[in-house]
Amino acid sequence: MKAHLSRRYLFSASHRLHSEAMSPEENQSTYGKCNNPYGHGHNYTVEVTVSGPVDENTGMVCNLTDLDGFIKREVLARYGHENLNMLPEFAQEVPTTENLCIQIYEIVHRGFHFAHLERVRLEETMMNSFEYAG
Amino acid sequence: MVYLTRKAEFSASHLYHNPDFTPEENRRIFGKCNNPNGHGHNYMLEVTVKGEVDPRSGFVVDLKQLKEIMHREVLDAMDHRFLNKEVSEFLHKIPTTENIAIAIWQRLHTKLTAAKLHRVRLYETPDLFVDFYGEK
């Protein structure tokens, strides 16, 4: 029996949406308040969904300890309480929640092998969220 | 095709233990969930059915019937129960969130006639949930 398991994690970070490829006016009209030169922050919720057969012996898709350990080490420690614009992956790329969602997907996809990664869903606020499934 | 989701909450206790494992293996694999005295959760169940909207009633499914089936098949059996001892599926199977979601699917899918069961989503806590789509 194949089941999907989803786990939600919180982290807080700051960012500024600004593209070097745009004029100051274009940046302002595209990103609005998010273009504030001093940046601003969010409490992000990342929802990671993995899937696989339910192991007959454990009743689990994967052990939560493994998933929690990986996400804390590779995602929360990397992005929690950071200014996203300062990180190498956002040196050339605007740290929109879309791009951050893709980055997190790639980290999990590359490094977590205890179950199949289905998707990463990233909530920037209670009102907006983004999903990436590769 | 329209999808309709109905929620229901139930509270139950359980523990994770496989008699084929050594006590050390049980503790290592299941951690705090292996506490022999059990522990509990408020489970939030979301049942999603799909179907065409009936042109006369405007319904995908009669909500009252769906509610009755969910109560009869799931809540009456699992609410305020110790899953390992009182629910037949878990006398010999570990009541993980995965296995509970599968058991709920199996209890519901043959009982639904008008609409087809699409997904069983079961939250063990607000931060952890399992989706089951009936896949083998």
How much is the average pLDDT of B69-95?
A: 97
Dihedral of alpha carbons A70, A72, A77, A78, sign: positive
A7-13 mean pLDDT: 98
Contacts of B125 (CB under 8 A, 6+ apart): B41
Helices (H) and strands (E) in chain A, counts: 4, 5
Counted across chains A and B, CB pairs separated by less than 8 A come out at: 62
What are the phi and psi torsion angles at A62 (to 5°)? -155, 160
3-state DSSP call for residue A127?
coil
Q: What is the pLDDT of residue A98?
A: 97
Q: Residue A7 is nearest to which of B31, B99, B127, comparing CB atoms?
A: B127
Per-residue confidence (pLDDT) for residue B114, from 0 to 100: 79
Tokens, residue B72? 């009869």
Looking at every residue in chain A, the average pLDDT score rounds to 97
Cβ A58–B29 below 8 Å, yes or no? yes
CA distance to partner chain B, nearest, from residue A98 (Å): 22
pLDDT for residue B17 is more than 90: yes
Is the domain spanning A2-132 CATH 3.40.50.2300? The answer is no
Cα gap A125→B75, rounded to integer Å: 33
Render pLDDT for A84-93 as a digit per residue (tens, 0 to 9).
Answer: 999 999 999 9
Instruction: Please tell me chain A's helix, strand, coil percentages from 3-state DSSP, rounded to the nearest 5.
Output: 35, 35, 30
DSSP string, A63-77: -HHHHHHHHIIIIIH
pLDDT category at B57 given cuts 50, 70, 90 is: confident
Query: How remote is the C-alpha of A21 from its chain's centroid?
Result: 24
Neighboring chain A residues of B131 at a CB cutoff of 8 Å: 3-6, 49
Q: Give yes or no for A59 touching B (CB within 8 A).
A: yes
Q: What is the pLDDT of residue A1?
A: 94
Which band of pLDDT confidence, cut at 50, 70 and 90, is reported for residue A134?
very high
**Closest by alpha carbon to A98, among A78, A128, A127?**
A128
Tell me what pLDDT residue B113 has.
83
Specify the pLDDT at position A73.
Answer: 98
Nearest CB neighbour to A59, from listed B93, B129, B136: B93
Please give the residue of chain A at the shortest CA–CA distance from B99: A59
pLDDT at position B97 over 90: yes
Catalytically active residues of B are 33, 80, 124
Residue-range domains of chain B with CATH: 2-132 (3.30.479.10)
Residues of A in contact with B133 (CB under 8 A): 2, 4
| Among candidate residues A88, A6, A92, the one with its CA nearest the CA of residue B123 | A6
Smallest Cβ–Cβ distance between A59 and the set B31, B94, B126 belongs to: B94
